Structure 1
């Protein structure tokens, strides 16, 4: 059954929490609007709107779209770079009307989740058009509940990604032919993309060599034979009927898939000793066809999803991305029984549609309250922000916008290129994870998101904030914090150093219950009195609180300088690194 849902208005803390996790950030005004909504209303606003497709990427050298037509010598050399910047532009909702920018951002957060799951290494694919179409494939499946086509679901996405041009290249599916099977994709399909290898840190050792508890080495070999005979379609002419997007093609011809293994494939006891075999009605005089080869993949994916472990593994990926990554077996076991099992039931009962599972999770009591008996660590602030989730939401909070690509292609790529540079300095090689398992922070037990923080990356995170906030620092993106406070905070609060510090903390920091500057009254349930006093002292410097009030009311000319101390201290704090 679905997870029990939270009722009542969200309030500022929960609204900010939801928008940090479900989108790439929100302005103060957007948080205030969502604070008055119930979770059900908020999720409807984020996930149930009709949204436009992104404006197509443009090659600045030619001024033309390149992803729909063959690339020629007239095009720029490094189109991969422009495509990465284009993807970042979608994350920051560049050129998107304000009325739908949050919903657009929520969809792009789902697209990013799918990218972190079905990982791509752009340099190995070495074809920006393939990456673009894969990105569009993820966008097609991201809001699958809005699509009446039952084929648009996560299970069927697993079929589609198996013959996706980028995936065929990155995991050597194009080298997998009968008699000389390449097992790379078959192995990762099982281990990373579907059934997994059980709950990390909790599994007893297996007694049989080649038995991974939920599948065997023999299943990898049989799966490689199922997946044999496909090739990259360099012309992007072979269109999938459900998505109308290009996919790979069989070697040989559609009526004679000559490199596909056409024999029966036997799977292990973990899959009920089932077989996958060609459908005679789809063969051509006994020879495999594109239709029969694709049908075998569908049969195999059906087998994988018939195991309850597959739904649980996918739901764990969802949970770690949107909620929390437990770092001990004990925590994992509790969450697995209380939360993941229910998510998996919803997932399977809903025909493996992704969106309803995520929506229920984001409406749940657990998401907002870390329901008693599930985890000891509150879900608020339970995830260290990725570089993307630090940089883009910070810019969005201060309402820094990027022009649409059709409004100013030069400015669009300059801004998104600066974001990519900042992401790279913080140790996220965007679309270039170190291996096919993806970015370690999303999958590597027991560290997970803690991978993002090292002495170097933390310094670069702080440098990003300092450059953004401080007048004397040079940078493309700049925030006038005086204007921000004047335009967003009532004068009665802005003139009071304590009230101003607490007001900003409510929006900027994840744990903000029962705020007080009094150590004796502090219940340490969230941001402590000691931390609040630190922010206040950094803000006031050598001034006292009354003097700040006098100076604010007199509109002194150097108020921006003093406010920069406050914003730098809060945004360079450890607390701000948490989502």
Structure 2
């Protein structure tokens, strides 16, 4: 029976790896050892601690100046910018900060992005919109989803992306209203008739579009109508473009009525407040529906736990999780409940750890960032080696030559629904593996070892020396690397494969020869022999099915 009952024992190595790999991008040997000794309460509390960024924003690698706003440390904003470079610089900035984030915030931010998708095509000529959107999502990773939907609705990037910045009373645009209902909150549900989708109707979209009229894109990023939203710029209301008439929703929402507002003889500030009030009432109406909480909890479950939602999981996990969510729509409450549960660690049935741990294919983003952190890969410093950091390592190698070729340009999904692996049944995460992407995924190890491309001279010998207790012993070397890289123990047959077929190259080396090769490296500093044996092992570990899954 699936259970949200909290796990009571110390995590241990396998469960610690599972938690860190599912909840963060930062998975290192020292963190695995630290979390192995924690109870689940201690571990989740650690993941909830605030994350301190290395850099507050992306910088122009050509000048070293900040690209978005003046900064007391980085200096005065660079007034000249190439939009494309700014987008790519923001990619690099976010990826590097996510790599170093020891909390669950970056992983939650990307969950929200995968849920409330945009693409950077909407950014052309608009400085800082993408940065603002990422900051907004991060701010609400542990906050109220209902409050976030209000903020997203007046966010400049979303106003641009789904055309609500052009939605007026005389020319209503339904794009954003449709996606709010279909993708962002309550979900479509099975069709029960013409224009009726179980949870809402086509007429509800019409009424929602009327309610959302009048908001405009604040291209100069100086307006803020978001209240206590951390000072993130928003769009602005044009009261003469808003429809203040009565909005009557269908029986799917209990025939909810948002009353007409007599705007005559009202000040502009009063009209603006009415526009905001209508927006609040609209989301109150949506979030009052039980289906909304369940839809959100299913999305979170598939992101953090498993694509497979059985009837048992629906009844025993999704339903009680959604009950928690409906109390105040807090992401913090449900992510704590989920990550502490016996079910998350696959400890709630008679065969423990057989389905959930190691049961999801890593997204390219997870694969890349977790490989960088597990190997403690020396990414060029963002300030001291700006060009290598932004241009060569992240823009060209990690984004262009890995993430894009693997099917996940991270902030440009193929549609407003996001990446198919996030939402599309029945394959879900299996979408990440296909004939067009598999070669790129398998080539990640080789890519990281190409110093001409990455501008990083990464030596596997050095990595092994720092992470294996007795590197001259074949048995210890293979055992400890498997324990570090893989989510759960493997069979003796797989261990022997990495040992005999890969490291020892089917008898080309013997264990004693390996010991001598390592001794030679330690005495002379010459790593040619050790690298020759370890590079194939490094690549094989990364392309193995055990490492390609979490």
TM-score of the pair, normalised by structure 2:
0.89
CA distance in 2, matches of 1:508, 1:314: 31
Give the alignment of 1:40-119 within 5 angstroms: 40-49=41-50, 51=52, 54-68=55-69, 74-78=80-84, 79-93=86-100, 101-103=101-103, 106-119=104-117
Q: Aligned residue for 2:35?
A: 34
Q: Aligned residue for 1:538?
A: 502
CA distance in 2, matches of 1:117, 1:276: 27
Q: Aligned residue for 2:73?
A: none
How many pairs are equivalent? 529
Q: Is the 8 A contact 2:246 2:261 kept in 1?
A: no
Evaluate the alpha carbon distance shift between residue 528 and residue 478 of structure 1 in structure 2; reply closer, same or farther with a 3 A threshold.
Answer: farther
Give the 3-state SS of the residue equivalent to 1:195 in structure 2. coil
Q: Aligned residue for 1:20?
A: 21
RMSD over aligned CA atoms reads 2.8
CA distance in 2, matches of 1:307, 1:187: 17
Q: Aligned residue for 2:6?
A: 5
1:529 matches 2:509: no
1:296 matches 2:267: no
Q: Aligned residue for 1:572?
A: 543
Give the 3-state SS of the residue equivalent to 1:569 in structure 2. helix
1:563 matches 2:534: yes
The structural deviation recorded for 1:179 is: 2.8
1:222 matches 2:207: yes
Q: Aligned residue for 1:245?
A: 232
Q: Is the 8 A contact 1:323 1:379 kept in 2?
A: yes
Aligned counterpart for 2:324 among listed residues 346, 350, 356: 346
Q: Is the 8 A contact 1:324 1:382 kept in 2?
A: yes
The structural deviation recorded for 1:407 is: 4.3
Give the alignment of 1:84-483 within 5 angstroms: 84-93=91-100, 101-103=101-103, 106-126=104-124, 127-144=126-143, 153-198=144-189, 203=190, 206=192, 208-239=193-224, 240-243=226-229, 244-251=231-238, 257-278=239-260, 284=266, 289-326=271-308, 331-349=309-327, 351-369=328-346, 371-372=348-349, 378-402=355-379, 405-414=382-391, 415-417=393-395, 418-421=397-400, 422-469=402-449, 475-483=454-462
TM-score of the pair, normalised by structure 1:
0.85
1:547 matches 2:512: yes
Unaligned runs of 5+ in 1: 94-100, 145-152, 252-256, 513-526
Q: Is the 8 A contact 1:210 1:216 kept in 2?
A: yes
Q: Is the 8 A contact 2:388 2:455 kept in 1?
A: no
CA distance in 1, matches of 2:221, 2:164: 16
CA distance in 2, matches of 1:460, 1:353: 38
CA distance in 2, matches of 1:168, 1:290: 17
Evaluate the alpha carbon distance shift between residue 344 and residue 548 of structure 1 in structure 2; reply closer, same or farther with a 3 A threshold.
Answer: farther
Evaluate the alpha carbon distance shift between residue 211 and residue 398 of structure 1 in structure 2; reply closer, same or farther with a 3 A threshold.
Answer: same
The structural deviation recorded for 1:75 is: 2.4
CA distance in 1, matches of 2:214, 2:407: 37
The structural deviation recorded for 1:128 is: 4.0
Evaluate the alpha carbon distance shift between residue 227 and residue 411 of structure 1 in structure 2; reply closer, same or farther with a 3 A threshold.
Answer: same
Q: Is the 8 A contact 1:228 1:261 kept in 2?
A: yes
CA distance in 2, matches of 1:6, 1:334: 19
Unaligned runs of 5+ in 2: 71-75
The structural deviation recorded for 1:406 is: 4.2
The structural deviation recorded for 1:403 is: 5.2
